[in-house]
């Protein structure tokens, strides 16, 4: 799932997921919707959960706002995710006035689904120079909340100096069952 205002063509580019890197996989590219009400969030999470149920054993990867959606989905107790990657994750929506949702949808204030936790289930890749979602305010909360494996990106929100190495690490981590 892409980040806020990031179209699928950019998500598929070398700056985020690099579509050619995933040619061995069946991928579904989703643009993240901006959460504007609790009802809208519930409907979207229901839709994402159905998508996961129709693709058992799927890995969900979210960049920025996409990571917020993935994290909220992972907190649902009736949703099982094979693996989850949070790439430069937005976790705390409160500082961003564009979101009009209650604290109910702060992933780290929810009880996580124990089946969607642990270093074998969740990988958090954070940018050490990320000014949009600083790792100490976002990635750190996701790491501790989901007890995740961590990968440090050298750079910011969209492109990092070790981006290709991080994608290779992500792919290897996903394939380790």
pLDDT tens-digit readout, 23-82: 999 999 999 998 888 999 999 999 999 999 999 999 999 999 999 999 999 999 999 899
Q: Give DSSP secondary structure letters for 19-76.
A: GGGGTTS-----PPPPP-SHHHHHHHHHHHHHHHHTSTT-EEEEETHHHHHHHHHHT-
Q: What is the structure's pLDDT at 96?
A: 80
Domain membership of residue 31 (yes or no) is: yes
The number of domains in the chain is 1
What does the pLDDT look like over 162-174, one tens digit per residue? 999 999 999 999 9
Domain membership of residue 121 (yes or no) is: yes
Q: In this structure, what CATH number is given to the domain that contains residue 63?
A: 3.40.50.1820
Domain membership of residue 134 (yes or no) is: yes
Does pLDDT of 154 surpass 90? yes
pTM over 0.85: yes
- Expressed as residue numbers, the domain containing 91 is 25-175
């Amino acid at each position: 799932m892409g980040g806020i205002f990031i179209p699928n063509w950019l998500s598929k580019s070398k700056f985020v997921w690099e579509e050619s890197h995933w040619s061995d996989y069946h991928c579904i590219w989703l643009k993240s919707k901006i959460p504007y009400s609790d009802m809208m969030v519930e409907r979207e999470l229901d839709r994402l959960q159905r998508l996961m149920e129709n693709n058992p054993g799927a890995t969900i990867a979210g960049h920025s706002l996409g990571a917020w959606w993935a994290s909220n989905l992972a907190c649902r107790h009736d949703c099982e995710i094979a693996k989850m990657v949070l790439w430069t994750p937005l976790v705390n929506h409160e500082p961003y006035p564009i979101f009009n949702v209650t604290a109910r949808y702060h992933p780290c204030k929810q009880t996580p689904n124990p089946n969607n936790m642990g270093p074998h289930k969740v990988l958090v890749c954070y940018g050490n120079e990320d000014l949009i979602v600083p790792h100490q305010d976002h990635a750190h909360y996701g790491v501790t909340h989901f007890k995740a494996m961590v990968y440090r990106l050298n750079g910011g929100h969209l492109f990092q100096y070790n981006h290709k190495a991080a994608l290779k690490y992500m792919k290897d981590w996903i394939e380790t069952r």
